[in-house]
Chains A and B, each alone.
Chain A
Amino acid sequence: MSVRLDAVGKSFGPTRAVDGVTLEVEGGELFAVLGPSGCGKTTLLRLVAGFERPDGGEVTISGHTVAGAGRWVAPERRRIGMVFQDYALFPHLTVARNVSFGLPRRERSKARTALELVGLQHKSDGFPHQLSGGERQRVALARALAPEPEVVLLDEPFSSLDATLRADLRREVELILREAGATALLVTHDQEEALSLADRLAVMRDGRLVQVGRPEDVYARPADRWAAQFVGEVNLLSGVDRGGGVQTDLGTFDLDAGGPAPSPGAGTVRVAVRPEQLELRSDDRGNAEVIHREFRGHDVLYRLRHQAGRTILVQLPSIELYDVGQRVFVRPVRSAVVPIVD
């Protein structure tokens, strides 16, 4: 119940879609690959599924090499369960027949169990076109889970659902996968999805993995400037390293001890400050002005113009509101610990 990729590469013509990727998904883990569209994450998934042959490297599922080192295992023999972006439900089969598609005849009863797991046993005689988007998604998941695969592969599973449904289904899918004890590899371009769902995630860019780690670590200590900006919002501030603290225009931040050490001799460093690591107070002679306010309900994202000219993002709970045009004083929250990024 594990997946390992070792220096796997795949090119389409001159494009290196996947470029020497090495990663390991452990048994029972929910692993997300996060990257912008076109970064090669779907190709990565298809390499694991066996819909693409790698140019180099090795793919291993539960200790068996399925691609590479002169071996090739056809997709139907890999014991994978795939959930496609558009679900790919068979339109000519009922929900029950869809779910039992991958089961041998004598194990058809497992289809019922799988449908119960996703709570759709009452729809088993319906056809895919009679279902709502969320129901289709759950059927696709039940179909993938029914044959008890070694690993479940999910390709942007929530992208064709509308936003209100997405958060609910995300929770539900996570619960279903955990209840089934499945090992899952999910690819997505949605950072919120990856951060909230995955036990660990990998950030992918231009066919390469930029960073692998737990969501909280990837968020708190991005590997580079690009990763910092892609995973959430960030202020990149330059400052002077004063040994343990970095002094910037906005004040002094504590330096994250786990991050990369500042290069010796270089006094100036760049730190990644998340919008929630800053706070505001109303001040007529403050150091910044509110130029935009994005009200999100439980919190508010402010865009400020700092007196030095740069734009600063600040996220605050929506308890106290500041108006556009208001003069404010912006400073680090007391507990802010920030990483150095290149």
Chain B
Amino acid sequence: MHSSEPRPPLWGAAALVALAASLPLGYVVVRAAGAGSETWSGLLDQRVPSLLASTVGLAAVVCAATLAVGGGLAHVMVRTDLPARRALTVLCALPLAIPPYVGAIAYADVLGPRGGLRDLLGVEEIPSIFGFAGSALVLTLFTYPYVFLLAAAALRNLDPSYEEAARGLGRGRVRAVIGTTARLISPALAGGALLVGLYVLSDFGAVSLMRFDTFTTVIYAELGGRFDPPGAAALSSVLVALTLLFLIAGLRVRGRGRFEQTGAGFRRESVHELGRWRWPALAAVAAVLGLSLALPLARLVTWTTDALADQDLGELAGWAWNSLFVSLLAAGVAVGCALPVAMVMARRTGRTGVVVGWLAQAGYALPGVIVALALVAIATRYAGPLYGTLALLVIAFVIRFLPQAIQGEEAGLQQIGANLSEAARGLGASRAGAFRRVVAPLLAPSLAASFAVVFLTAVKELPATLILRPLGFDTLPVRVWTPARDGLYAQAGPAALLLVVVSIVPLYVLLARRRGAVPAIG
């Protein structure tokens, strides 16, 4: 079905948003090209190889681990007769409400050199958690829900007769599951791993607290302590290139494995009886939930009850208010800016629409550190008064999280289709009238979900906030990271717990709205 072309004002708005969203990317590219051969050869000789190894290695290990944990949990929750699996399914998604850097402080404390595990074992010293192992552990425990949610949704939608056919053809149960089912849901697994990988490449908080150097931490250091903008820009361009490569590879894997399901939409529940594997399976699920929910939450709660007497509650409320204010504002602006882009994309109007869509989603390839770095540079050079204002922070959030809003809204518009607004116009409604009376009410749930996703990720955002926040503007993430950076984990407790509580609300909205809806990267 062909649809009428978008009118010029819509195109103008979409192009403007795309231009603004791709400014940081443009800055990084221009700056890196102009960095000069000396800067480059120095970086390429010393820093880049080791950073590539550490960053790519971490992303690979975390992807593999989340695929195993998230995929395994999804299979157990959807396709077996595990006791209490409905309640456990909800719990399996909840670690998304715990930012990895909050998880990191709990683990740094418990598994650290003077931590609880050492006391428990009564030994002099335990192997250090800091570095690669700790980063991988923490990132896995708090990002596996991306894989879990997508895989569980795909499994629910999968017709079990494929697996039955494989078994009927002589495959054993394990081979049927791994060979047939895993292959059929491979797009979902790839999609989940893509989100995890993009998160790991962009993560700053968890790795910095685990004292492991990746691109983001080094770029942050170049910008802060050593103050070497050309070096930071050059490193940023390498990280952006890496992210883009990963994004393209991930999208290709996801696309290649996409199968059309033939046959009717009728879906039976197909459940494997666990039998004697029942209790081992339950123990494994309990172990994952214990490590990713119970342990960190228990630690946060004890810290909070200990610190509550000394904690200035008004101060805490102030941080919370700042977090809420800036995140709500960012979510509102992002949802609004995404609308014209999503409308242009939904109408599938050729190459220009695709370019606008890609540029507007440049934030996917831009870790928070880089968005912040680019905005600092652009603002100090071209828009001095903007530097150090809340507006710049909101702009950074919007650029960073615009892709999530665009994708949510575009999916919503696709579902509505062009027919309904044409029907409205055939009945005498103007373009604006058709939008107001038909499209807007039907799009409202998608807008609300996009708002919740952006809010959820913005409220947890750390590096851009650290770099761009106005003087004295403390948010919950900042008050978690700052004391934790100096090893004062207990002090971070109350802010961290409050942050988790604040994150649960939008997460619950999203999970309740549609089982399997995934709040994308943050």
Interface residues of A in 68-107 (CB under 8 A from B): 74-77, 79-82, 84, 86, 88-92, 101-102
B415-438 residues with Cβ-Cβ distance < 8 A to A are: 417, 419-420, 422-430, 433, 437-438
CB neighbours of B424 from chain A (8 A): 90, 101
Shortest CB-to-CB span from B432 to chain A, Å, is 10
Query: Is B4 an interface residue when CB atoms closer than 8 A count as contact?
Result: yes
Q: Are A88 and B427 in touch, CB under 8 angstroms?
A: no
**A84 close to B4 (CB less than 8 A):** no
Q: Does A52 contact B (CB under 8 A)?
A: yes
Chain A residues lying within 8 Å of B86, measured Cβ to Cβ, are none
B441 contact from A51, A77, A92, Cβ within 8 A: A92
B2, B3, B437: which contacts A101 (Cβ < 8 A)?
B437
Q: How far is the CA of A147 from the CA of B423 in the complex (A)?
A: 13
- Contact for B427 among A46, A102, A153, CB less than 8 A: A102
Given the interface contacts A12-B2, A51-B4, A86-B419, does A76 sit within 8 Å of B438 by beta carbon? no
Contact B441 A101 (CB under 8 A): no
CB A21 to nearest CB in B, in angstroms, measures 17
Cα distance A49–B437 when bound, in Å?
20
Interface status of A143 (Cβ within 8 A of chain B)? yes
Bound Cα distance A102, B430 (Å): 11
Minimum CB–CB distance from B348 to chain A (whole Å) comes to: 13
* Interface residues of A, count at CB 8 A: 29
Q: Which residues on the B side are within 8 Å of A88 (C-beta)?
A: 417, 419-420, 422-423
Q: What's the minimum C-beta distance from B290 to chain A, rounded to whole angstroms?
A: 43
User: Taking CB as reference atom, which chain A residue is nearest B417?
Assistant: A88
- Beyond A12-B2, A86-B419, whether A76 also contacts B442 by CB under 8 A is no
Residues of A within 8 A of B437 (CB): 101
Q: A49–B426 contact, CB under 8 A?
A: yes
Q: Contact at A82–B422, with CB atoms within 8 Å?
A: yes
Is A80 in contact with B426, judged by CB distance below 8 angstroms?
yes
Q: Are A90 and B429 in contact (CB under 8 A)?
A: no
By a CB distance below 8 angstroms, the chain A residues around B430 are 74, 76
Residue on A nearest B5 in the bound complex, by CB: A53
A253-296 interface (Cβ within 8 A of B): none
B122 smallest CB distance to A (angstroms): 65
Asked, given contacts A52-B2, A52-B4, A91-B442, whether A147 binds B419 with beta carbons under 8 Å apart, the answer is no
- Tell me, in angstroms, the Cα distance from A50 to B427 when the chains sit together: 12
Q: For window 426-478 of chain B, which residues contact chain A by CB distance below 8 Å?
A: 426-430, 433, 437-438, 441-442
Are A102 and B422 closer than 8 Å at their CB atoms? no
The main secondary structure of chain A at its interface with chain B is loop
Partner of B426, one of A12, A43, A75: A75
Which residues of chain B in 1-51 are interfacial with respect to chain A, using CB atoms and an 8 Å cutoff?
2-4
Assembly CA distance A102 to B417 (angstroms): 20
Q: Which of B2, B3, B417, B425 contacts A76 (CB 8 A)?
A: B425
Instruction: With CB as the reference atom, state the residue of chain B lying closest to A42.
Output: B1
| Distance between A228 CB and nearest chain B CB, rounded to angstroms | 31
Which of A75, A144, A153 interacts with B425 by CB under 8 Å?
Answer: A75
Query: Which residues from A are CB-within-8-Å of B438?
Result: 90, 92
Most chain A beta-carbon neighbours within 10 Å: one of B420, B422, B423, B426:
B426
Residue numbers in B under 8 Å from A52 (CB-CB): 2, 4
Q: How far is the CB of B428 from chain A (nearest CB, A)?
A: 5
Q: Which residues of A contact B428 (CB under 8 A)?
A: 76-77, 79, 102, 147
Instruction: List chain A residues, Cβ under 8 A from B3.
Output: 51
Set A51, A77, A147: member contacting B422, Cβ < 8 A:
A51
Given A84-B419, A90-B438, A101-B437, A74:B425 Cβ within 8 A: yes
Contact yes or no, B423 A90, CB < 8 A: yes
- Residues facing B in A13-52 (CB within 8 A) are 43, 46, 49-52
**CB-defined contacts of B4 to chain A, threshold 8 Å:** 51-53
How distant is B97 from chain A, measured CB to nearest CB, in Å? 31
List, in ascending order, chain A residues with CB within 8 A of B423's CB. Answer: 82, 84, 88-90, 143
Q: Which residue of B lies closest to A17 (CB)?
A: B2
Known: A91-B442, A101-B437. A147 touches B427 (CB 8 A): yes
A10 to chain B, nearest CB (A): 9
B422, B425, B429, B433 pick with most chain A CB within 10 angstroms: B425
Interface 1/0 per residue, A217-250 and B, CB below 8 Å: 0000000000000000000000000000000000
B429: chain A residues at CB < 8 Å are: 76, 101-102
Please name all residues of chain B whose beta carbon is closer than 8 Å to the beta carbon of A53 when the two chains form the complex: 4
**B residues near A77, Cβ cutoff 8 Å:** 428
Most buried by B among A52, A53, A81, A92: A92
How far, in whole Å, are A102 and B437 apart by their CA atoms in the complex? 11
Please indicate the chain A residues that have their CB under 8 angstroms from the CB of B422 in the complex: 49, 51, 75, 82, 84, 88
Task: Tell me the minimal C-beta distance from A91 to chain B in angstroms.
Answer: 7
Q: Give min CB distance, B106 to chain A, whole Å.
A: 45
In addition to A51-B4, A81-B427, 7 A-B residue pairs with Cβ atoms within 8 Å of each other are: A12-B2, A52-B2, A52-B4, A75-B426, A76-B425, A88-B417, A143-B427
20 interchain pairs, CB-CB under 8 A? A12-B2, A43-B2, A49-B422, A51-B3, A51-B422, A51-B425, A74-B425, A76-B427, A76-B433, A81-B427, A82-B422, A88-B419, A88-B422, A89-B423, A90-B420, A101-B437, A102-B426, A102-B428, A143-B427, A147-B427
A-B pairs with the 10 shortest C-beta distances? A102-B427, A88-B423, A82-B426, A88-B419, A75-B425, A76-B425, A76-B428, A102-B428, A92-B441, A101-B427
